[in-house]
Structure 1
Amino acid sequence: MKIVEKKKLWFSISGLIILIGIGFFIYRGGLNLGIDFKGGTEVIIQIDKSFKKEDADQLIKKHAPNAVTNTVNNNQIQIRDKAEELNSAKVKDIMTDVKDKYKVDDKALVSQNEIGASVGKELTKNALIALTLAILGMLVYVAVRFKWDFGIAAIIALLHDVLITLSMYTIFNISVNSSFIAAILTIIGYSMNDTVVIFDRIRENLKSKRGSSPAEVANISIAATMSRSINTSLTTLIAIASVYVLVPSIRDFTFPLMVGIFSGAFSSIFIASPIWVMLKEWEAKKNNK
């Protein structure tokens, strides 16, 4: 199985997705930041009876076309939008339609909260700090357990997963909220775990196959761990996809998880290992000179 020798193909696939993501990022003027980062209004309405989310969405988007809606506890609907687009007048109009359709009273408006832009800036800062600390922690862990070349390859694979996930958000113009940060941190941990399994096998094979080249060692190690990586990722994806379909209220969290787990499995096999081989070959050329 020659995985490493086809590295240009694997790098091209990832590079194309990231380039498309960058194109949409430039075209749309950045990520579609939700109210957690930009500030806005959050409204929760209690309906107290079974209702179809699609019907409620149609009613709400008549007044706030860009609003993001979720069901809460199966009997509430959460509406989130920018403050200038979901003002008090529009909330009043929405409540009028909700009262007519679902026969509720004024008490159905459980809450109406505004999130200031300063809160969004603080959240953005904390999110970047959390992401930086997570990546640094992973780098230290790999550097201690393995060598510097493994650490660099693992961090590049992690950055690849983050960029792929961000690209999917820009391509499909999905709103980025606080749940996205939790998902990214989960993806980093999952991807690193997958990468470490392959690197551990590479380290073992470096000792037992001393006469083999780095590419041969990597290919043997990937072949030995590929079925485990694919099966683990596939079962996890099936579980998360089921949650995505059956629990709409947490789709903001499950969607990036699905993208990240798929990307993490891909990067562990087709990105991290070839990069490690490239670093080993560069190191060998340097020593020969």
Structure 2
Amino acid sequence: MRLRLVRENTSIDFFSRGRIWLGLSAIAMVIAFASFLIQGLNFGIDFQGGTSIRTDSSQPVDIAEYRAVLDPLDLGDVSIVSVDDPLFDDDQYVTLVRVQAQDGDERIASETIEAIQSALRTIDPGMTFPSIESVGPKVSGELIQTAILAVALAVVAILLYIWLRFEWQFAVGAVLALTHDVILTIGIFSELQIKFDLAIIAALLTIVGYSINDTVIVFDRVRENLRKYKQKPLKEVLNISINETLSRTLMTSVTTMLALLALFILGGDVIRGFVFAMMWGVLIGTYSSIFVASAFLLVLGVKRDWSKKDPSAGTRYGHIDT
């Protein structure tokens, strides 16, 4: 017996309240954009600038212990990452301790560095500090620009891919859904003031890939059913296609969410922001592939036979009320 999250042959009308779903999405995007303009993002060290201190110890790394001895110094945003390398000796344990820029300075003061070193030596008196590097505001600004460019290029590449594989109406619907996902993800990070760093950019790119995968599955079934049901209205074909792929969509989302939930609970502070972004992205991506991308496709309309040229293609069903 196969596990199913929804019963077979569902007949849910996803577009009976299509305007309401699009309206709620539009309101959520406006709130997210307003939060971004008013509060901004809580940038991490990657985008804010700061100092990276490499530690070398003969004792196993306990990140919670490192953080406990540094918290009394009131350094602001501190990132502690354990570094593994097969070239290290068996008794060599390396970490990178990154501290945000203090009071707008490019690098933290020597007195602060000495205080950090003294605090960490309470864990291991023989700890050494092979390198100390600073990331200034200029480099951080370049990272922000590169991150924005990476997300934009990913969306453009997906637009071209969908356009070539399907039709321009499918491409526009998919990209609008992706834009919806990215804006709402940035908005939730702005609203909750969760640390935003390069790991979150990686999560955004992963969310884009996850969301478009769901959307392509639905669109592929739509294209098949447009050829199969030549006389049915586009709205009905879209409902049939989404219902047919609903079990697969929910199964993928739930299994992914279970894995992410385990990482969120057990993974620790280092990856918690990344995992939260992924969890939010799975929820929003599943919603947008069903309600946003398909709703825009219904508004734009599509042609029914790709083997014939039709000057009215793309507008034949544009008058249908969502």
Output the CA distance in 2 between the equivalents of 1:10 and 1:104.
60
Q: Show CA shifts across 1:149-183 (max 9, x none).
A: 11100000010111111012101212222222222
> Could you say which residue in structure 1 is the equivalent of 2:113?
91
Q: Does residue 191 of the first structure (1) align with residue 211 of the second (2)? A: yes
Output the CA distance in 2 between the equivalents of 1:13 and 1:104.
57
Percent identity, please: 32
Amino acid at match of 2:98: R
Q: Does residue 132 of the first structure (1) align with residue 152 of the second (2)? A: yes
For the residue of structure 1 that corresponds to 2:53, the secondary structure is strand
Give the CA deviation at 1:198.
0.2
> Could you say which residue in structure 2 is the equivalent of 1:170?
190
Describe how 1:115-130 pairs up with structure 2 within 5 A: 115-130=135-150
For the residue of structure 2 that corresponds to 1:5, the secondary structure is coil
For the residue of structure 2 that corresponds to 1:84, the secondary structure is coil
Q: Show CA shifts across 1:40-84 (max 9, x none).
A: 212344455456544433432322352133341596554333322
Q: Does residue 158 of the first structure (1) align with residue 158 of the second (2)? A: no
Give the CA deviation at 1:253.
3.0
Q: Show CA shifts across 1:71-110 (max 9, x none).
A: 415965543333225433223223222323x242351x35
Q: Does residue 82 of the first structure (1) align with residue 100 of the second (2)? A: yes
Output the CA distance in 2 between the equivalents of 1:163 and 1:238.
24
How many equivalent residue pairs?
Answer: 285
Relative to structure 1, is the Cα distance of residues 58 and 287 closer, same or farther in structure 2, using a 3 angstrom cutoff? closer
Describe how 1:59-78 pairs up with structure 2 within 5 A: 59-73=69-83, 78=96
Output the CA distance in 1 between the equivalents of 2:69 and 2:54.
14
Question: Are 2:50 and 2:136, in contact at CA under 8 Å, matched by a contact in 1?
Answer: yes
> Could you say which residue in structure 1 is the equivalent of 2:42?
32
Amino acid at match of 2:282: I
Larger radius of gyration: 2
Give the CA deviation at 1:216.
0.9
Question: Are 2:53 and 2:98, in contact at CA under 8 Å, matched by a contact in 1?
Answer: yes
Greater shift, 34-43 or 144-153, is seen at: 34-43
For the residue of structure 1 that corresponds to 2:132, the secondary structure is strand
Misfit runs of 4+, over 6 Å: 285-288
Question: Are 1:20 and 1:171, in contact at CA under 8 Å, matched by a contact in 2?
Answer: no
For the residue of structure 1 that corresponds to 2:232, the secondary structure is coil
Question: Are 1:14 and 1:164, in contact at CA under 8 Å, matched by a contact in 2?
Answer: no
Output the CA distance in 2 between the equivalents of 1:91 and 1:15.
48
Output the CA distance in 1 between the equivalents of 2:232 and 2:48.
54
Greater shift, 70-79 or 263-272, is seen at: 70-79
Select 2:315's aligned residue among 266, 283, 286: 283
Question: Are 1:4 and 1:273, in contact at CA under 8 Å, matched by a contact in 2?
Answer: no
Relative to structure 1, is the Cα distance of residues 121 and 70 closer, same or farther in structure 2, using a 3 angstrom cutoff? same
Q: Show CA shifts across 1:242-288 (max 9, x none).
A: 23333333334333222212211111011111111111299237799
Select 1:7's aligned residue among 5, 18, 24: 18
Which consecutive residues of structure 1, in runs of 5 or more, have no partner in the other structure?
none
Amino acid at match of 2:117: M
Relative to structure 1, is the Cα distance of residues 239 and 287 closer, same or farther in structure 2, using a 3 angstrom cutoff? closer
Relative to structure 1, is the Cα distance of residues 14 and 110 closer, same or farther in structure 2, using a 3 angstrom cutoff? farther
Greater shift, 211-220 or 11-20, is seen at: 11-20
Question: Are 1:60 and 1:94, in contact at CA under 8 Å, matched by a contact in 2?
Answer: yes
For the residue of structure 2 that corresponds to 1:212, the secondary structure is coil
Greater per-residue helix proportion: 1
Relative to structure 1, is the Cα distance of residues 242 and 201 closer, same or farther in structure 2, using a 3 angstrom cutoff? same
Output the CA distance in 2 between the equivalents of 1:210 and 1:285.
13
Question: Are 1:68 and 1:80, in contact at CA under 8 Å, matched by a contact in 2?
Answer: yes
Structure 1 length as normaliser, TM-score?
0.87
Which consecutive residues of structure 2, in runs of 5 or more, have no partner in the other structure?
1-11, 85-92, 303-313
